[in-house]
Structure 1
């Protein structure tokens, strides 16, 4: 039996991180429940107080093929390196200088959205194609691969 996967990310500002990842992945912030025109309208109807309205957010693949990313507010800040991270496949099928140029271009775009560039790993054939290590606006590491 196939299972659906959701990736959950702890953070301080779910709305901000959801907006970043929606842009980074070509996803969209998940819309409000059926019958509501906006999240504000839905949260009003659910009785969610204003101070809890940014406790969670999610982004979804508009094609429905990628996993949902769910962002939940937690009180503690990120403290150590992620044990699990996302690889954003920004240069599939490319190799060498062409691959690294595509990764650099994507890194520039993501930095303009609030990401931070951390490290560059040069190609090391036969198994290492080269990649860039980045961090999202809250410091969660991810790779441009």
Structure 2
């Protein structure tokens, strides 16, 4: 059971393959969203992953300011379906926020949240900054966390 944070260059070929496989399984297959999963932002991002017995069970892509938004961002947040309900999403978010605030020194984090997860992200201090809109036929809302 290990949490790891890596730059794109630190990922092995097998790790990158496993990450892309899990992201595609959740966002393209499970959520029925045919879209360009490999979007060119991975090389500029940090990759936070949790593994058990070599398998990735949780993952988030941490984007420095200027990659997706003027603010830092957290994206591609996934917990493998078989590992849901164990608190991994909360720990994943806690670690993601801590890295961006403490290691990158950023005070604002912007996310594009699926609307049904608004309260989950709100529990970490994220507040809506947009109305609800459709992205790939899924209701989303932009949210921002500001550190005092």
- Shorter chain as denominator, the TM-score bin is under 0.3
Q: Which has the higher contact order (CA 8 A, sep 6+)?
A: 1
TM-score of the superposition, structure 1-length normalised? 0.27
Higher helix fraction (1 or 2): 2
Higher strand fraction (1 or 2): 2
TM-score of the superposition, structure 2-length normalised? 0.26
